[in-house]
Amino acid sequence: MTVDLGPLHPGLLLDALALPLEHEPVAAEQVVAGSPTTGYAVLVDGPPEIGVWEMTPGTASDVEVDEVFVVLAGHGTVRFDMPLLEPITLRPGSVVRLTAGMHTTWHITETLRKLYIA
């Protein structure tokens, strides 16, 4: 579910950790385990798009877009459907780059919130 904040103007203070996000269940065909939900807010409707995204505990697959993100809160792992890439552990402060078309599986153990640029 999108929260429309409009453009993030210079000098505007926004607490990305306190930002309320409306969640929706992950599509059934993407759920691997549990009952994860996701929510996001677009802060800058780019390009590039900048926003905050969150996923509750559970496991879900996805096909990625070009994106760089920073984990703000939570924990989990991401596995890549590419033989040369090892799974990565996500925790606050993790910075990750994804490229369009990557097939991933997100296993979230503690609600994960990230700031993304796509």
Q: Residues 40, 46, 47, 53: what is their CA dihedral angle, to the nearest 10 degrees? A: -10
Q: What does pTM read for this prediction?
A: 0.91
Name the pLDDT band for 7 (thresholds 50, 70, 90): low
Q: Which helix (H) or strand (E) holds 106?
A: strand 103-117
The pLDDT-based confidence of 53 (bands split at 50, 70, 90) is very high
Architecture of domain 2-7+22-117: Sandwich (2.60)
Q: What average pLDDT does this structure show over 89-116?
A: 98
- β-pair type (24-25, 2-4): unpaired
What are the pLDDT digits (tens) for 57-78? 999 999 999 999 999 999 999 9
Q: Break the chain into its structural domains and give their ranges.
A: 2-7+22-117
